[in-house]
Amino acid sequence: MTIAVTGSTGQLGRLVIEKLKVRVPAGEIIALARDPAKAADLGVAVRAADYARPETLGPALAGVDTLLLISSDAIGQRLVQHGAVIDAAKAAGVKRIAYTSILRADASPLVLADEHKATEALIKASGLTYALLRNGWYTENYTGSLAGAVAAGALIGASGEGRISAATREDYAEAAAAVIATPDAESRVYELAGDVAFTRTDLAAEVSRQTGKTIPYNDLPEAEYARILESFGLPAPLAAILAQSDTGAAEGGLFDDGRQLSSLIGRPTTPLSVAVAAALAG
């Protein structure tokens, strides 16, 4: 069986390749990369595959049985890019496609879900066997900016008291590896999220506990949070989308208690305290 993984040079993709190598012989894995040189250290075969250059995709997918399509980071262009990969997979005779979607893509209040929902529809229409890996939020989305928050003396956001079932990239990568390493003739949808949900207030309390400083959570209106993200250097459209995602989280859009992720990986998802400690340790 040959398994190919797109986005193998990204933070999630690198972890997927690492986890996959534990489950299947390295000779059965192909890392697909926009820039193959960036994947040279992965210890598996590398092929060039650029979502935005469809002519690269057919050769990249030749002989591949199972494909993991890691969603592109080019928000706004993703449907076209993903569509090109799905078309190429079908043409190349790929049998099964897994895709990193978003938690409850079909019912999510997050604007970010639109491209995922549309991609899922293309995958279903392709006739390929599929595994939709509907990933919740990465814990790193929150812990990545902790140093700045501690320096500023407060956490900010617009997620109110919304409970967020985040898990680490490593947790999601292990789940993706488990799914694609296991042959399966059935199409499936997985809602993947952390075991223990937290609010931004819980996060601030954990950061306060670990730093010994009082770091409150200041909840902001969506537009104000977007303006502040923009002032940090984020492009306006991205700032708006991230702030809207927080509003969606406030409505429960990032909460899940189905525990399918821990069931797939055979262990609890990484606790918030562990992720916070890792982030604070730098």
Ligand X SMILES: NC(=O)c1ccc[n+]([C@@H]2O[C@H](COP(=O)([O-])OP(=O)(O)OC[C@H]3O[C@@H](n4cnc5c(N)ncnc54)[C@H](OP(=O)(O)O)[C@@H]3O)[C@@H](O)[C@H]2O)c1
* 128 versus 133: smaller Cβ distance to ligand X: 133
Residue among 4, 10, 19, 98 that touches ligand X (CB under 6 A): 10
73 near ligand X, rule: CB under 6 A: yes
Name which position in 66, 71, 244, 247 contacts ligand X (CB under 6 A): 71
What residues contact 79, with CB distance under 8 A and at least 6 apart?
115, 118, 119, 122
Structure tokens at 177: 């590896």
- Which residues between 165 and 224 bind ligand X (CB under 6 A)? 169
- Whose Cβ is closer to ligand X: residue 208's or residue 278's? 278
Of 216 and 251, nearer to ligand X (C-beta) is 251
At CA 82, angle to CA 79 and CA 85, rounded to 5? Answer: 150
The smaller minimum CB distance to ligand X, of residues 141 and 212, is found at: 141
Among 74, 147, 223, 277, binds ligand X (CB under 6 A): 74
Distances (CA, A) of 53 to 31, 59, 105, 242: 17, 12, 27, 28
Task: Decide whether 77 or 214 has the Cβ nearer to ligand X.
Answer: 77
Exactly one of 129, 135, 168, 244 binds ligand X (CB under 6 A); that residue is 135
Residue 162 binds ligand X (CB under 6 A): no
Residues that bind ligand X (CB under 6 A): 6-7, 9-13, 34-35, 38, 49-52, 70-74, 81, 100, 135, 137-138, 141, 169
